[in-house]
A and B are shown apart, each in its own frame.
Chain A
Amino acid sequence: MWRNKRFAVLWPFLGAALAVSAACAETPNSCVDCHSALDPPYKVTQDQFAQDIHAQKGLTCASCHGGDPTKDDQDAMSKKAGFRGHIDHKDVPALCGKCHSDAAYMRQFNPSLRTDQFSQYLTSVHGKLLAKGDTKVAVCTDCHGVHDLRPASDTRSKVHPLNVAQTCSRCHADAAYMKGYSIPTDQFAGYSASVHHEALAVRGDLSAPTCTTCHGNHGAAPPGVGTVQNVCATCHVFQAQLFASSPHKAAFEAASLPGCVTCHSNHRIAHPSDAMLGTGTQSVCTNCHTSGDAGYDAADKFHAQLAQLDTAVKTSDELLGRAESDGMEVSQPRLEQDQARDSLTKARVTIHSFNVARVDQDIQAGLKIAGKTHQEGEAALRERDYRRKGLAWSVVAIVLVLIGLRLYIRQIESGGKI
């Protein structure tokens, strides 16, 4: 077929196709050519590397490993070509830092990227231990990946906010790996059960904290006992301010208690409940306070106040619910109930002042609204009763007519006699 004169016209096209494909072919990369065929841990495929942010910005294997990708075989990996081979664990941060700490260099790629990661890392627990010779600690590649490294904003990145906790837990939740270090390994389990994890993973609220939010990412270190509340205060401003003005601040500092964590825990932060107050079995107050001291009485009062407002709100809700199921339209009081619930939320925040009078202000405001909605609910029920009475009267009128008709029919059909 190919010798046929008629198909000779195809030759130029074939030639052109070959030339074009040759021109489009990637610059020779002998590293990937060989390494894509090897077994792990030496295996790096083109597909994999194409996902890497460094590759996308124009860097190659040689940028970190040295060597000459245009040569074949051993020439590519010769010392003359500057080949460094496998980068030792302990040398990774310095290698990454060579570029990433160079502001002038990084400006070419992304001017807004920070360039202090390496210096931060040196202040972190990981960095400090690495400097002392511990190679079990995390280095850049352990968290960010390597060869298919994605930016943190990419949801597939190991350091995307949704994935951070999982990444940290690879070491920190491994009891066997963490043997020898004096820290617990239940943080991930606790965090996974926390309200912050629920906000992040279930509700998708990317502003919710993960490990790095409180511990830092490159400069990762647990916040000190005295500074924990500063961390929580970044978001929970009101509670922190109230706490700072409360008698607990000085007392906790004196007892070296870790601020917010004392009552709320650090990783397994559950949704707080009113049962945490008062003197019941789930109360955190009774951990320190005993019957007879002022704090014990205050705890009791706080619980009673919140319970009072909670009950008032629930009673109004139930009343409005009944009115609604009886057909009354109560959207206005329902909206006001939202405000009553806001007061309850506010009171639960004001608790952190541990000042009964202060909390009482919010409680009273809430009770006022709940009282109003309760009245509106009762008015709705009264309106319902009025309608039913109206109905009863009209039914009486209708029955009268029915009786009258019956009698009238009988009258005219029996010739005047009934």
Chain B
Amino acid sequence: MLTRIRNWLDERFGLAELTAPLREKTVPIHSRSYWYFLGGITLFLFGIQVCTGILLLLYYRASASEAFESVQYIMTRVQFGWLVRSIHSWAANLMIFTAIAHMFSVLFLKAYRKPRELTWVSGMILLFLAMGFGFSGYLLPWNTLAFFATKVGTEIAGQVPFVGHQMMVFLRGGEEVTGATLTRFFGFHVAVLPGITTLLILLHVALIQRFGMSVPPDVEAKWKADPAQAREMHFFPNFLLRELMAWYIALGVLGALAALKPWDLGTKADPFAPAPAGIRPEWYFMFMFQTLKLIPAKIWFVDGELVGILVFGLAGLIWLLLPFFERERNGRSSRWILGLGVFALAYMASMTVYGYVAK
């Protein structure tokens, strides 16, 4: 039956010819091959987000007076609504986690080096987009914590010199966080960001297909010296089947999280109530938030928070353009980047933990 469909398509589209490169595609196998799964898992989780997101769209209402109630409705009245919503919330966090892990694995395995610089750049932009998804999606249930987290977050954006205030007004849809902000964030979350992300994912995957999988420098050297040592695996079906296993494990983890640790709903946001104690951003912003809290009010004659924002902005820019800083293979710049990567990972991890442990 499948053969008959395949032949029908082949006669018209030259299917065999089109899929030939896919059938030829191989994945290098070495001690660190397991890290190759992270990208696929991130893509899979994005797919989950799109599916659960579309399902949520069937019942969610994006106005300040109905948003909270509609999420409550999904959690209590809609059949398996609790499952869809909790999976969406958990997968969001998992996706950002795997995206960050994927980024660091690419960094430490040096997969960003020539000719894959643009793959890195597109990937970094995707990471920023993922965090944008997280920030915009967080507000949508319109609960107290999200409302104030958005207030603080957009306030920080407003501190950027020259364009800060316009940026903040653009994000908020006004001077304050109101129902207009909710509508705007909803538009970003379900239309603008998905559109840009889809295009970038296509670019990112196309680039990967073009260049094939990168191999760490030491393995590359070993295999160049002795080609017989090189091991490869067919992507289709062998690697894909293993990838499928990883995806199924992710599904199991998501289901367990949704059923055993469902996502909280909180209380409806009241713009006139004072901010409750312990307002925190989501964990992926925590390291920046905690850093800003620790910076003294004034550094020299410059406002402390402004210094923090500028430093993070600069760090983001450097990170985006990282491959272009590596001058030669295994040279000084290469070791600098490795050191920077270790420092960044350690800093982010410790600041995140600190942010949760500190009062």
Seen from chain A, the residues whose Cβ lies within 8 Å of a Cβ on chain B are: 326-327, 329, 331, 387-388, 390-391, 394-395, 398-399, 401-402, 405-406, 408-409, 412-413
> Residue B221 at the A interface, CB < 8 A?
no
In order of increasing CB-CB distance, the 6 nearest A-B pairs are A327-B262, A391-B259, A329-B76, A398-B252, A387-B259, A405-B245
B248 near A405: Cβ-Cβ < 8 Å? yes
> Residue B195 at the A interface, CB < 8 A?
no
Closest Cβ neighbor of B251 among chain A residues: A398
A405 near B244: Cβ-Cβ < 8 Å? yes
Bitwise interface map of B from 214 to 246 toward A, beta carbon under 8 Å scored 1, else 0: 000000000000000000000001100110110
A388 near B245: Cβ-Cβ < 8 Å? no
> Residue B112 at the A interface, CB < 8 A?
no
Give the most central of A327, A390, A401: most B CB within 10 Å: A327
Q: With contacts A408-B241, A412-B237 known, is A331 near B72, CB below 8 A?
A: yes
What are 26 A-B contacts with C-beta separation under 8 Å? Answer: A327-B82, A327-B261, A329-B76, A329-B82, A329-B265, A331-B72, A387-B82, A387-B83, A390-B259, A391-B259, A391-B260, A394-B252, A394-B255, A395-B252, A398-B251, A398-B252, A402-B245, A402-B248, A402-B249, A405-B244, A405-B245, A405-B248, A408-B241, A409-B241, A409-B242, A413-B238
> Residue B311 at the A interface, CB < 8 A?
no
Q: Contacts of A409 on B, CB cut-off 8 Å?
A: 238, 241-242
> Residue B75 at the A interface, CB < 8 A?
yes
Q: Contacts of B248 on A, CB cut-off 8 Å?
A: 398, 401-402, 405
A412 near B76: Cβ-Cβ < 8 Å? no
B259 near A388: Cβ-Cβ < 8 Å? yes
Interchain CA distance A413-B231 in the complex, whole Å: 14
Q: With contacts A331-B72, A398-B251 known, is A405 near B256, CB below 8 A?
A: no
A406 near B262: Cβ-Cβ < 8 Å? no
Interchain CA distance A221-B74 in the complex, whole Å: 62
Q: Contacts of B242 on A, CB cut-off 8 Å?
A: 405, 409
Interchain CA distance A395-B259 in the complex, whole Å: 11
B66 to chain A, nearest CB (A): 16
Given A326-B262, A329-B76, 16 other A-B residues pairs in contact with their CB atoms under 8 A:
A329-B72, A329-B82, A387-B83, A388-B259, A391-B256, A391-B259, A391-B260, A395-B255, A395-B256, A398-B251, A398-B252, A402-B248, A402-B249, A405-B242, A406-B245, A408-B241
Interchain CA distance A93-B258 in the complex, whole Å: 77
Chain B stretch 63-80: residues in CB contact (< 8 A) with chain A: 72, 75-76
Q: Contacts of B86 on A, CB cut-off 8 Å?
A: 327
Q: Contacts of B72 on A, CB cut-off 8 Å?
A: 329, 331
Interchain CA distance A99-B255 in the complex, whole Å: 82
Q: Contacts of A412 on B, CB cut-off 8 Å?
A: 237-238
B231 to chain A, nearest CB (A): 13
Interchain CA distance A405-B242 in the complex, whole Å: 8
Interchain CA distance A406-B248 in the complex, whole Å: 12
Interchain CA distance A358-B39 in the complex, whole Å: 71
What is the interface of chain A mostly: helix, strand, loop, or mixed?
helix
| Interface size grouping (class) on chain B | 20 to 34
B48 to chain A, nearest CB (A): 14
A381 to chain B, nearest CB (A): 14
Q: Contacts of A387 on B, CB cut-off 8 Å?
A: 82-83, 259
Q: Contacts of A408 on B, CB cut-off 8 Å?
A: 241
Closest Cβ neighbor of B256 among chain A residues: A391
Interchain CA distance A120-B249 in the complex, whole Å: 85
8 Å CB contact of A391 from B76, B244, B255: B255
A213 to chain B, nearest CB (A): 32
Closest Cβ neighbor of B75 among chain A residues: A329
8 Å CB contact of A388 from B249, B260, B263: B260
Q: Contacts of B260 on A, CB cut-off 8 Å?
A: 388, 391
Interchain CA distance A387-B258 in the complex, whole Å: 9
Give the most central of A331, A388, A391, A394: most B CB within 10 Å: A391
Interchain CA distance A327-B266 in the complex, whole Å: 11
Interchain CA distance A331-B68 in the complex, whole Å: 13
Q: Contacts of B83 on A, CB cut-off 8 Å?
A: 387
Q: Contacts of A413 on B, CB cut-off 8 Å?
A: 238
Chain B stretch 259-289: residues in CB contact (< 8 A) with chain A: 259-265
B23 to chain A, nearest CB (A): 14
Q: Contacts of A402 on B, CB cut-off 8 Å?
A: 245, 248-249
Q: Contacts of A405 on B, CB cut-off 8 Å?
A: 241-242, 244-245, 248
Q: Contacts of B249 on A, CB cut-off 8 Å?
A: 398, 402
Q: Contacts of A406 on B, CB cut-off 8 Å?
A: 245
Interchain CA distance A413-B249 in the complex, whole Å: 22
A386 to chain B, nearest CB (A): 10
Interchain CA distance A394-B75 in the complex, whole Å: 20
Interchain CA distance A402-B252 in the complex, whole Å: 11
Bitwise interface map of B from 77 to 96 toward A, beta carbon under 8 Å scored 1, else 0: 00000110010000000000
Q: Contacts of A395 on B, CB cut-off 8 Å?
A: 252, 255-256
B274 to chain A, nearest CB (A): 16
Interchain CA distance A98-B263 in the complex, whole Å: 73
Closest Cβ neighbor of B242 among chain A residues: A409
Interchain CA distance A399-B249 in the complex, whole Å: 8
Q: Contacts of B75 on A, CB cut-off 8 Å?
A: 329
Interchain CA distance A270-B238 in the complex, whole Å: 77
Closest Cβ neighbor of A403 among chain B residues: B245
Interchain CA distance A394-B237 in the complex, whole Å: 25
Interchain CA distance A409-B240 in the complex, whole Å: 10
Give the most central of A387, A395, A402: most B CB within 10 Å: A387
Closest Cβ neighbor of A383 among chain B residues: B82
Closest Cβ neighbor of B74 among chain A residues: A329
Q: Contacts of B259 on A, CB cut-off 8 Å?
A: 387-388, 390-391
Q: Contacts of B252 on A, CB cut-off 8 Å?
A: 394-395, 398-399
Interchain CA distance A398-B76 in the complex, whole Å: 27
Interchain CA distance A413-B233 in the complex, whole Å: 10
Q: Contacts of A398 on B, CB cut-off 8 Å?
A: 248-249, 251-252, 255
Interchain CA distance A405-B241 in the complex, whole Å: 7
B232 to chain A, nearest CB (A): 13
